[in-house]
Structure 1
Amino acid sequence: MRKLRVAFGMENEGKLSDAHYGDSEFFLIYEILEDGTAKLLEKRPNRVKDMEEHDGEHGDPRKFRAIIEQLKDVDVLAAFRMGPNFLRIRDQSNKVVFFTSTRDLNLALQRVIESFEELWKQVEEKKSKHA
């Protein structure tokens, strides 16, 4: 059965972060199956949340690389909001970005499930580009 590993950038147990993805308090890693099943795999601390960014500006490429590294086993980065590194994630990584348009975790999960086919297609395209 096809499955996606999705990391939600979180503020607390029920709400996605309103900050940039790299500033999330932690990540909830879910496995989403094509039949609509969602299983929480892990609550992963954000080790780079407090990383000092070059010149105090958001969008530091070092932070981008650190986020990608700590989420290397994930296919989709799900967020309410992304910062300046969004374009780097989209263009320079093997990750697919999904904007939830909600901070409510349950609703965000439902939106990922409803978008499974499109997300699967994007993940497969990324894998073939970055193989």
Structure 2
Amino acid sequence: MKESLRFAFAVSQGHAFEKKHFGEAEQFLIYEYKDDELTLIDEYRNPFIRPEEHYTHGSSRKGKAIISFLKELDIDVLVARQFGRNLHMVREHFIPVIISATCIGEVTEVLLKHIFWLMEERRKVDNHYGLYQINLGILKMPGRSVKPRLQEER
């Protein structure tokens, strides 16, 4: 059983968490939790926000491309301020975590505080992971494989 977790933080070029969907972040910072520490191990520019690549915001094509990219990096947990309509696909492969903080130091601190819950979620057999929302405490949303309903445009 894997005793570490690998995280992808969705951040701006200035390494701040912005109120954007995970797939719209400018960069992915890769952190690894091992031996009670969360360590930055790599960073990648998001290759799926270039307009010439035809990955439109919220498209399943873009969602599948990001999932494939992050699976190659052996990612377990995605951390962002928001997730979009591809969340149902994300939850089949990764544990999504919504955070309210914008500073990496605050986010790593709160993740370490609640790491037990994420480690337990990773041990699930069915791979339909719950959505976690972390503010001061932690809230887990049920891990259903139901597609989110879209609101009608006004």
Superposition TM-score tier, normalisation by shorter sequence:
0.7 to 0.9
Hey, what does 1:96 align to over in structure 2? 95
Q: TM-score, normalised by structure 1?
A: 0.83
**C-alpha deviation, 1:113, in angstroms:** 1.0
| 2:58 paired with 1:41 | no
The answer as to whether partners of 1:31 and 1:38 remain within 8 angstroms in 2 is yes
Q: 1:86 is aligned with what amino acid?
A: L
Q: Which runs of 5+ in 1 are unaligned?
A: none
Q: State the AA in 1 paired with 2:6.
A: R
State the secondary structure of the residue aligned to 2:123: helix
Say whether 1:60 aligns with 2:59: yes
Q: Distance in 2 between matches of 1:99 and 1:110?
A: 14
1:8-29 alpha-carbon deviations (Å, 9 max, x no partner): 0011333013211111101000
Structure showing greater radius of gyration is 2
Shift, 1:114, TM fit:
1.2
Query: What value does the CA root-mean-square deviation take over the aligned residues?
Result: 1.8
Q: How many residue pairs were aligned?
A: 122
- Aligned 1:1-131 pairs, distance under 5 A: 2-33=3-34, 35=36, 37-50=37-50, 51-53=53-55, 58-72=57-71, 73-90=74-91, 93-125=92-124, 128-130=125-127
Q: By how many angstroms is 1:34 displaced?
A: 5.3
Larger relative contact order (CA 8 Å, sep ≥ 6)? 1
- After TM superposition, the score normalised by the length of structure 2 is 0.72
CA offsets, 1:82-121, max 9 Å, x none? Answer: 111122212xx22100111111111111111111111111
Q: Counterparts of 1:77 and 1:7 in 2: how far apart (Å)?
A: 5
Q: Which runs of 5+ in 2 are unaligned?
A: 128-154
